[in-house]
Amino acid sequence: MKFSANLGFLWADRPLPDAIRAAHAAGFDAVECHWPYDTSPQDIKAALDETGLPMLGLNTSRGDLSAGENGLSALPGREEDARAAIDQAIRFAAAIGAQNIHVMAGFASGAEAHRTFVTNLRYACAQAAQLGLTILIEPLNRHDAPGYFLTTTDQARGLIEEIAALNLKLMFDCYHVQLMEGDLSHRLPDLMPIIGHIQFASVPDRGPPDRGELNYKHVFRVIQDLGYDKPLGAEYKQPGNADWALGWLHDAREM
């Protein structure tokens, strides 16, 4: 199996180009990030070229952090800001060779928020398609992100079916799905046709996948048996030093 280091959490204390190099040295097959916008895209691209690692994806801006925002695209009245964030993400992804853009919904609810998210996702898909990029949407759990608009895979599937864009896919984060829905062994095969990326972390502490209530040896085997061959995203909070928290990676290589 192949694995991607999510540099929003792993080696997050280092400049992003150095984190890319650390992920390469640790044996990851790819990298992904959250919000790389404070780093020069030229420096990121240089580190990616140096290591040969692909950058799988990045997120749209969260918005005004001082106001507690966590995405803009489902917020009625913020369409101009949401589209600016989408445009920014597409430009940055193109500059560094990233393949996917996670469009963050934000804290909202109701029919108007749904209509707003659909409209902004249609815009994102149309703009991204011109560059061959994929748009991802990700349900977040109610414990870590109370009030977030998108919370379940059923809701995400409904949006994907409504918008019907070939480049709109589900980001299936095992951590979030387990907390909200569980039953990963059945949800993964059911949703596989619309999955664009898979992430993982232990539940409930969001640590490495060798602890907690999920048996990731089983989950990884389910994913493998389904024929999914893209790198899986290690989006977990490192317990201190990531360099000594990678025993799971070596074990997974032997599956």
Predicted pLDDT of residue 16: 98
Residue 15 falls within a domain, yes or no?
no
Burial of 96-113, coded b for 16+ CB within 10 Å and e otherwise, reads: bebbbbbbbbbbbeeeeb
Per-residue pLDDT at 244: 57
How far CA 247 is from CA of 8, 187, 210, in Å, comes to 20, 27, 8
As a whole number, the mean pLDDT across the chain is: 96
Asked if the structure places residue 142 within a domain, the reply is yes
Assess whether pLDDT exceeds 90 at residue 208: yes
Supply the residues annotated as catalytic.
138, 235
Helix (H) / strand (E) element for 154: namely helix 153-163
**Is residue 5, in this structure, part of any structural domain at all?**
no
- Residue 72, domain CATH: 3.20.20.150
pLDDT at 185 over 60: yes
> Is 9 within the bounds of a domain?
no
pLDDT of residue 250: 85
Range in 83-87, 196-200, 240-244 with the lowest mean pLDDT: 240-244
pLDDT at 73 over 60: yes
**Rama region for 156: left / alpha / beta (φ>0; ψ in -120 to 50; rest):** alpha
Over 80: is that where the pLDDT of 147 sits? yes
Looking at the 3D structure of the chain, how many domains does it have? 1
Q: Check: pTM over 0.85? Answer yes or no.
A: yes
Residue 254 pLDDT > 80: no
Q: What is the pLDDT of residue 242?
A: 56
Share of the chain above pLDDT 90, in %: 94
Q: What is the largest CA-CA distance in the chain?
A: 51
Categorize the per-residue pLDDT at 191 as very low, low, confident or very high, splitting at 50, 70 and 90: very high
Residue 238: pLDDT band (50, 70, 90) is confident
What value does the mean pLDDT take over residues 42-62?
98
Residue 133 sits at φ, ψ, to 5 deg, of -100, 155
Q: 13 in a domain, yes or no?
A: no
Residue 33 domain boundaries: 24-253
- Whether 239 has a pLDDT exceeding 80, the answer reads no
Lowest mean pLDDT among 29-33, 85-89, 245-249: 245-249
Residue 88 belongs to a domain: yes
* Tens-place pLDDT, residues 89-126: 999 999 999 999 999 999 999 999 999 999 999 999 99
- Is 210 a domain residue? yes
